[in-house]
Amino acid sequence: MSEKVLMKGNEAIAEAAIRAGCRHYFGYPITPQTELAAYMAKRMPKIGGCFLQAESEVAAINMVYGVSSTGKRVMTSSSSPGVSLKQEGISYIAGADLPALIVNVQRGGPGLGGIQPSQSDYFQATKGGGHGDYHLIVLTPASVQEMADMTALAFDLADKYRMPSMLLADGTMGQMMEPVLLPEEHINAVEKPWAVTGTGMKREHNIINSLYLVPEELEKKNIERFERYKLIEETEARYEAFMMEDAEYCIVAFGIAARISKNAVVALRQMGIKAGLIRPITVWPFPKKAIADAADKVKAFVSVELSMGQMIEDIKLASGCRKPVALCNRVGGMIPSPEEVIECVKNMQGGNN
């Protein structure tokens, strides 16, 4: 049987993708996700797969579109500025109802920003990102183990719902090493009768397309897609609740911010303050119900983010603004310390928010 190995988060994604049956990877170099591409460059040729360093992020995502059109599992990875470049292609992938995996190992922005970790692409990832009405399924790993596990899950969900999925990680998750038990090889065989593989002169031609010039048709397409999104919101929202049973203060955080917040919760409990943590594992769909239920019980929320406050809007919406929501944040590649989170919760306790 397999045993735990030490791997960087970026490498764990690559290996897990291969084990999930992905044999096509397209990307363009950018820090801090390069280990992922390097791993693919090394492995793909040895297993009959395809690694291609594209001329740009724009080209890479369109190569992904091409492979996905043929019904095969395919992925690309990048970091924030590169993911911005991919938005056009992501919109087309969503518009053509194609599955694909996009990995964003976030760094600070806007613009060229920095190379240190960030979570400031939350809006881009969860609210669409490119043009038009669409969503991605967005998973937020908080450990190297989850980097691996969620890669497999992201491929499965993308295939199941015929839509792109995203791993929204950050520089620390990509760069850190932790013991990881790699997932077993699994090829989730989903029928893809829509794929272009050549008609073989046996069927009508398949067309992969996002163009609908008749407004009634385009409206219908959008509404159908959102019916699917509604089902996903009802069934696929994932989160972890930590010490929430009797919590009076609910910290909400994902990824690296959740790791830090866990330390803060433990410390707060030692001080006699009843803190708990809701860690969204999917940020689209956002775990609205968990937040709404918590709003019935807790005195206040604290959103811990590596951004100027993006997820906080979803917390306010999900809680119906019934309880105060404070923001504890650092940006630009800075990371809040557990002490800063503790301080923020204590401030809420004092009632100043």
Partner 1 sequence: MAVVFEKPKSLTDAELHYCPGCTHGIIHRLVAEAIDALGVEGKTIGVAPVGCAVMAYNYFSCDMVEAAHGRAPAVATGLKRSLPENVIFTYQGDGDLASIGMAETVHAATRNENITVIFVNNAIYGMTGGQMAPTSLPGQVTQTSPYGRDIATAGYPVRVSEMLSMLDGPEYIARVAVNNVKNVRNAKKCIEKAFRNQIENKGFSLIEVVSSCPTNWGMTPGKALEWIEENMIPYYPLGVYKDRSAKEEEKA
Partner 2 sequence: MTTQILIAGFGGQGVLFAGKFLAYKALIEGKQLSWLPSYGPEMRGGTANCSVIISDDPVGSPIVSKPDILMAMNLPSLDKYEDAVVPGGTVFVDSTLIERKVKRTDINVVYIPSTKLAKDLNAPTLANMVMVGKLFKECKEIGMDNVEQALHKVISARKANLFDVNLSAIQCGFNYSE
Residues that bind partner 2 (CB under 8 A): 4, 6, 31-32, 115-116, 171-172, 175-179, 256, 259-260, 262-263, 266, 335, 337-338
Distance of CA 151 to the CA centre of its chain: 10
Q: Is 208 in the site for partner 1 (CB under 8 A)?
A: yes
Residues 297 and 281 sit within 8 Å (Cβ to Cβ)? no
Identify residues 84-143 at the interface with partner 1 (CB under 8 A): 88-89, 92, 96
User: By CB under 8 A, how many residues form the interface with partner 1?
Assistant: 39
Choose which of 68, 104, 151, 175 interacts with partner 1 (CB under 8 A). Answer: 68
Q: Which residues of 135-158 are buried (b: 16+ CB within 10 A; e: fewer)?
A: bbbbbbbbbbbbbbbbbbbbbbbb
Residues 239 and 290 sit within 8 Å (Cβ to Cβ)? yes
Q: Which is nearer to partner 2, 11 or 159 (CB)?
A: 11
Residues 302 and 311 sit within 8 Å (Cβ to Cβ)? no
- The torsion of the CA quartet 65, 60, 190, 43, rounded to 10 degrees, works out to 160
Q: In angstroms, what is the minimal distance from the CB of 168 to partner 1?
A: 23
Q: Which is nearer to partner 2, 4 or 322 (CB)?
A: 4
Q: What is the H or E stretch that residue 53 is in?
A: strand 50-53
- Given the rule CB under 8 A, which of 60-68, 141-149, 243-251, 254-262 is the region that contacts partner 1? 60-68
Q: Is 41 in the site for partner 1 (CB under 8 A)?
A: no
Amino acid sitting at position 16: A
Q: In angstroms, what is the minimal distance from the CB of 228 to partner 1?
A: 21
Choose which of 179, 198, 289, 321 interacts with partner 1 (CB under 8 A). Answer: 198
Per the structure block, which two tokens stand in for 112? 């060229």
Q: What is the H or E stretch that residue 311 is in?
A: helix 311-318
Q: In angstroms, what is the minimal distance from the CB of 31 to partner 2?
A: 6
d(CA 264, CA 181): 27
Q: Which is nearer to partner 2, 41 or 115 (CB)?
A: 115
Q: Which residues bind partner 1 (CB under 8 A)?
A: 24, 26, 50, 52, 54-56, 58-60, 62-70, 72, 74, 88-89, 92, 96, 196-202, 205-211
